[in-house]
Chain A
Amino acid sequence: MCRVIDLSRLCSRLLPIAVFIVVVSLCGCATTKSVREEYQPSAEFSVAKGDDVIGRLAYITLEKGDTLPDIARHFGLGINAVSAANPGVDIWVPEAGKRILLPLSFILPDTPRKGIVINLAAMRLFEFKGDIESIEVFTYPVGVGTEERPSPRGQMYVDHKVVRPTWHVPASIAADHLKKGDPLPAAVPPGPENPLGEYAMYLSKPGYLVHGTNKPASIGLRATNGCIRLYPEDIKKLYANTPVKIPVRMVNQPYLLGQHNGVVYLEVHAPPEDIDTIEFDRMYARLKSIEKEPGRKLDWSRVKKVLAEARGVPFPISEIGNGRGIAEPVEFSHPTELYGRPEVPELKKDAWSVLAADLPDEIDAVRLAAMINHQGPQIPARVLSNNGSYRVIAGPFRDAKEARDAVKRLKIDLEIDGALIEPVRKK
């Protein structure tokens, strides 16, 4: 006996089911898509008792025109940290679309958690507040002394503080500048030419300061004469938060061991070709001691890998058995504007400019323009293509003097022979 099926009734029953399936599928797609968070800048972290690791790693996808110094500054990092965490990524012309690691997690130095502690190897400053039961730590990236003029190690304190300091040029630095053909006055008043920036904290060790800078791109570099430099926005906060007489300890700890939520982490800042033997042996002894703790099992192959890569990022080196470790890295959305990115004004025909270079390779030209833009004070520069070559033009400058000063700075600081370009005179 045949059964007659009413198709219209069947369709009306199936339609809601079909709609339901489509909606659930879309929801499924939405949950599997990675969620990007917006970065909320914060230098403050709570430290639980027995805990040594703060922060959380993150990723970001680069866009055209990004430079690692600009990314570093926006996310409160030094250029060294971003570069070491992302080996092989071009600092000035990184590939658009490249996903890079932001090393926003740190192992606290192995010191008493009191006052200011600066780990020169990690180029990072930590300021501890509170007591042993409840510690808050504020952390900022820093620039430190060169090999020839290293930052001092040891215990000192903040002797006094000055807003809008005058830079009294030390004799040795004056001599160096004279040799370069760049004589300095005995004192540099506050302003854009002052390398101390807007705030300075003078340390008990004479001649050494913790101060701001007019060269923000130097944070994360060994470029000072022994002082500690901070981004302008960071020194402002630190200055406000730091009383006189607060202890300041400077250490050099390239190998950091720490625990968080039952997991042991290792953070390495010294590449294998630059081993600090004393610190290495100290770290090794600590590792052997940790291994003896009941229930601990270190992954020595991981230890070797972390030592070889020296990426300056905390990596787990013990089995994450019962321990949870730090949270998984978060994915940040690219900010609309990068804080502190140098602005490049339009070139004007009626203003002076300087031809810094005429290069056959576009990447080389973009790199040079970026380096010029990140000078302190900034020298605005851009790339103009010209019949198969790429011109790096600095400017616009108000007058011939300003343009000549730029030519001089380009020669002394970047070894570039710039050529003045006169403005187009109105007839």
Chain B
Amino acid sequence: MKKSLLMILMMVVIAITAMGCATKGDLEKVQSQQMMTGAKADQAAQDAQAAKASADAATLKAEAAAARAENALKMAEERERIADEKAKMADEKAMLADEKAKKSDDTFQKSMRK
């Protein structure tokens, strides 16, 4: 009887142990899966961060390019304004020179009378 109880007990222990091993394996599997998931999650997070950083960098780059373009336009407008002013001053100078020459010519013509 004792022997049969002992046998039964041993079988139960072995079964429980086996069940425990199976559970441990599952646990390890789960743990492993969890680790993998965690790693994947980390990777995904990192990727997301990298993508965000990249997007931010691209945005910055685009903004910088836009700023440079605007600056270039402003400078071109300024140059055009300066050129217009110079042309206007040159025209005024030429007009004054023409007026002076015409006045001289009129004075000279008068001096040629008897």
Contact = CB atoms under 8 A, between A and B. Distances in A.
A320 interface: no
Nearest to B97: A363
Given A173-B114, A195-B114, A92 B109 contact: no
A92 to B, nearest CB: 7
Nearest to B114: A195
Contacts of A318: none
A217 B111 CA distance: 10
A365 B111 CA distance: 18
A282 B105 CA distance: 32
A223 B109 contact: yes
A91 B107 CA distance: 13
Interface string B18-34: 00000000000000000
Contacts of B114: 173, 195, 224-225
Given A91-B101, A215-B112, A224-B113, 5 more contacts: A217-B112, A221-B112, A364-B100, A413-B111, A414-B111
B3 interface: no
Contacts of A368: 104
18 contacts: A90-B101, A91-B101, A143-B112, A215-B112, A218-B112, A221-B109, A222-B109, A223-B113, A224-B113, A225-B114, A367-B104, A368-B104, A371-B108, A374-B108, A413-B110, A413-B111, A414-B107, A414-B111
Interface string B75-101: 000000000000000000000000011
Report the contact-size class of chain A (Cβ under 8 Å from the partner).
20 to 34
A364 to B, nearest CB: 7
A367 B103 CA distance: 12
A253 interface: no
A375 interface: yes
Contacts of B105: 91
A376 interface: yes
Contacts of B101: 90-92, 367
A146 interface: yes
A228 B107 CA distance: 21
A415 B107 contact: yes
